[in-house]
Amino acid sequence: MAKILIPTPLRPYTDKQDAVDAAGATVGELLADLTRKHEGLKAHLYNDQGKLRSFVNVYVNDEDIRYLQKEQTPVAASDTVSIIPSVAGGAPTTTEQEVRAVPLHPDRELPALTNDEVKRYSRHLIMPEVGVEGQRKLKASKVLCIGAGGLGSPVAMYLAAAGVGTIGLVDFDVVDFSNLQRQILHSTPDVGRPKLASAKDKLTALNPEIEIRTHEVALSSENALELFAPYDVIVDGTDNFPTRYLVNDACVLLGKPNAYGSIFRFEGQASVFATKDGPCYRCLYPEPPPPGLVPSCAEGGVLGVLPGMIGMVQATETIKLIMGIGEPLIGRFLIYDALKMKFRELKLRKDPDCPVCGTHPTVTKLIDYDQFCGIAPTAPEPIAVNNATEITAVELKQRLDRGDKLKIVDVREPNEYQINKIAGSVLIPLGDVPKRYNELDPEDEIVVQCKMGGRSAKAADFLRSVGFKKILNLKGGILDWIDKVDPTQPKY
Amino acid sequence: MNSRQLTVTGGVDEAIRAHGQATYPHECCGALLGRDNHVSDIVALPNTTEEGPRRRFLVRPSDYREAERRASELGAELLGFYHSHPDHPARPSQYDLDHAWPTFAYIIVAVSGSASARQSADGAAAAGDMTVWYLKDDRSSFEEGSLQHGENSHPDTAQAVHG
């Protein structure tokens, strides 16, 4: 039994009493007893899922139960339990102002469908929301996919199947074995081919009625506006921050919607940016993260099916934008967790102070995005200068063969170490280096090594900072070692 | 007329508008104190939202307690809260509804600013419509009340406890 103090707005439900005695040994039991006695309180204290509403605060004496044991917090007879409102509210956000779909080009003349096309798209045509008109809009539309990789694959395949009349692809990469786990545009025989050649074959086989335009270039501030100009929707399937900001800014400058998606490990994100009234990527992230903070998929890995899920959200949103149906993912940021199999949604609003889409933009043309993201341009290889901080795979092999005493420290994760390793190396994952460096002898000559050389460079910097003098970073990491020295080992 | 009536004195009306203009382009918020549906005092409260004060306001539990304390000092009751909608109509949002408490009166004042006001903190902003709303008992929606203007019983009504 304890006393519960009732706040003013709830007193009409407790016969005007400002304090009610309730029975129970925990906060949860007391509140259950309270709502049994005063039924009307229930709807205001608990949500539909039976959880305490977020703006209902419960204090035991002067402590918020969120910092105690929540509803399991024990209560003695001498304790006073108070229900204290958080009062919150606000003006409607973009999402609440009913985001309506707007057809992209209402005045555009729509091409007719051939008999073959009617047959091919019949499952679309029989839905009144699409119908012949919607299909003709798809046929008239032009969509540009940035990247023909993890996200670009499902996006391009579904857009091609759905009958988007013109699909452009920007990529300059070559198909690698490590792509096949997720990039379903490409097959095993395509390894070594340009991704665009492989993509064009796949998409044309899927739907010969549509046009596939390939742009085998690295997207840059110099070519982006010209590349984007003929297209209606841009689908961002990039895997790095400079290109992501470049795509966003170019879309805002040209007034073209950006069907955005990104993936990492088990989590994906999607939204539609840069529509007339909606927010853009910079409204969400005005500044890029410091370089190296967010690892790429090559470093952190990615679940193979994840880009399928996110790419299909991008393709769905693209098709909705073209047809002008449904509620677009504008002003909403979708977060998908594959392990929990959960979708969450954050509300986004257009930032009036956004440097590119705000009321007084400061970014009015494309900038140097590598510099913006803090990535220094790659310096030309130093010629004939022996960089005393690095060692190449071939040099390392020569010195080991010569019998030099070198300690090799692998700073990758244990699961990577299981895939391949340099014989004789010891494993100290990068994150453990600060607490385990005393296992190493500062007098030894030490070679640090990871997959490609990035993490080991950080480890080298750290070790030098704590007084190690003879630290060499293996250039190109174990991948270079395998290419140049030990091709018997698998690469990942 | 069936709608609930809330009377505010001239001083209260002015103080709410002034508070909304001062915090523009951010939302302002505060407590309404009085008796028998007659607001005689307000307590300006800090907007502690972490979701962006242009579109949200949040009154902390400690400030809520402060408002209750101030009410009992004045021999009054806590009648409800007010907040501003910068560049939006004086109508409750879904978010207001989701976070509303029963029986409280919710006054909303629309504040609109010129483009320059949005850029600088001291730009001119003008308070417009002022409305009052009550949560329906089943939490399904708000009911608009009727806002009356009464005599200014105390000349020095508005007090701010937080800057």
- Overall average pLDDT of the A414-422 stretch: 91
In this predicted structure, what is the pLDDT of residue A92? 65
Q: What is the mean pLDDT of residues A16-44?
A: 91
Is the per-residue pLDDT at A91 higher than 90?
A: no
Q: What pLDDT does A215 receive?
A: 96
| CA-based nearest residue to A311, from A195, A185, A175 | A185
Give me the pLDDT at residue B116, please.
Answer: 47
What share of chain A has pLDDT > 90, as a percent? 58
* A89 → closest Cβ in B86, B99, B118: B99
Residues with Cβ within 8 Å of residue A48, at least 6 apart in sequence: none
Task: Please check whether residue A260 touches B, CB under 8 A.
Answer: no
A128 touches chain B (CB under 8 A): no
Average pLDDT, chain A: 89
Q: Is A198 exposed, middle or buried (0-12, 13-18, 19+ CB in 10 A)?
A: buried
Question: Could you give the 3-state DSSP secondary structure of residue A309?
Answer: helix
* Residues 6 or more apart whose Cβ sits within 8 Å of residue A97: none
Checking if the pLDDT of A294 tops 80, the result is no
The continuous run of DSSP H or E covering B1 comes out as: none
Which residues of A fall within a CB distance of 8 Å from B60? 86
Give A115-140 pLDDT, tens digit per residue.
999 999 999 999 999 999 999 999 99
**Structure tokens belonging to residue A111:** 């091409």
Backbone angles phi, psi at A36, to 5 degrees: -70, -45
What integer pLDDT is reported at residue B151 of this predicted model?
65
A257: Cβ contacts below 8 Å, ≥ 6 apart: A104, A233, A234, A251, A272, A273, A274, A275, A321
B1-13 pLDDT tens trace: 467 899 998 789 9
Q: Map residue B115 onto helix, strand or coil.
A: helix
A87 with B52: Cβ contact below 8 A: no
> Dmax of chain B from CA atoms?
43
- Between A and B, how many residue pairs show a Cβ–Cβ distance under 8 A? 107
Interface contact B64-A352, CB threshold 8 A? no
Hey, is the C-beta of A43 within 8 angstroms of any chain B C-beta?
A: yes
Strand bridging mode A267-273 / A332-337:
antiparallel
Q: What value does the mean pLDDT take over residues B80-101?
A: 86
- The whole-number pLDDT of residue A154 equals 98
As a whole number of angstroms, the longest Cα–Cα distance in chain A is 92
Which of B52, B59, B83 comes nearest A86 by C-beta? Answer: B59
The span from the CA of A456 to the CA of A412, in Å, is 8
pLDDT digits (tens, 9 = 90+) for A442-489: 888 999 999 998 889 889 988 988 888 889 999 999 999 999 999 999
| pLDDT of B144 over the 50 cut | yes
Pull the structure tokens for residue A474: 């293996």
CB–CB of A96 and B95 under 8 A?
A: yes
Q: What percent of chain B has pLDDT over 90?
A: 29
- The predicted structure's pLDDT at residue B123: 52
Closest residue of A to B119, CA-based? A353
Q: Is the pLDDT of residue B163 over 50?
A: no
Instruction: Output the six-digit token pair for A145.
Output: 């996919």
**Is the pLDDT at B158 greater than 50, yes or no?**
no
Interface contact flag, B93 A64, Cβ < 8 Å: no
- Check if the interface score ipTM surpasses 0.95: no
Sign of the CA dihedral running A298, A303, A305, A309: negative
Higher pLDDT, B157 or A92: A92
Element housing A371 (H / E): helix A369-372
Percent of chain A with pLDDT over 70: 93
Smallest Cα distance from B159 to chain A, Å: 19
pLDDT at B114: 61
Please answer yes or no on whether A9 and B102 come within 8 Å at the CB atom: yes
Q: Say which residue, A276 or A293, is predicted with more confidence.
A: A276
| CA distance, residue B78 to nearest chain A CA (Å) | 7
A49-63, A164-178, A293-307: range with lowest mean pLDDT: A293-307
Per residue in A427-446, pLDDT tens? 999 989 988 988 998 888 99
Does A89 reach chain B within 8 Å, measured CB to CB? yes
Q: A152 pLDDT exceeds 70?
A: yes
**Comparison of pLDDT for A163 and B36, the residue scoring more:** A163
Q: Is the pLDDT of residue A315 over 90?
A: yes
Question: Would you say A407 and A426 are in contact if contact means Cβ atoms under 8 Å apart?
Answer: yes
Task: Identify the burial level of A280 via C-beta atoms within 10 angstroms of its C-beta, where 0-12 means exposed, 13-18 middle and 19 or more buried.
Answer: buried
Contacts of A269 (CB under 8 A, 6+ apart): A260, A261, A262, A263, A310, A333, A334, A335, A336
Per-residue pLDDT band for A383 (boundaries 50, 70, 90) equals very low
| Stretch A347-375: mean pLDDT | 86
Q: What tens digit of pLDDT does each residue of B102-124 get?
A: 889 999 999 887 654 444 444 56
**Are A89 and B95 in contact (CB < 8 Å)?**
yes
A152-162 vs A195-206: helix crossing angle, rounded to 10: 30
Judged by CB atoms closer than 8 Å, whether chains meet at B61 and A93 is answered as no
Active site residues of A: 297, 450
Mean of pLDDT values over B24-51? 88
DSSP code for A158 = H
Contact A472, A446 (CB under 8 A): yes
Angle of CA points A448, A451, A457, to nearest 5°: 40
Question: Chain B: nearest CA to A44, how far in angstroms?
Answer: 7
Asked if residue B156 has pLDDT above 70, the reply is: no
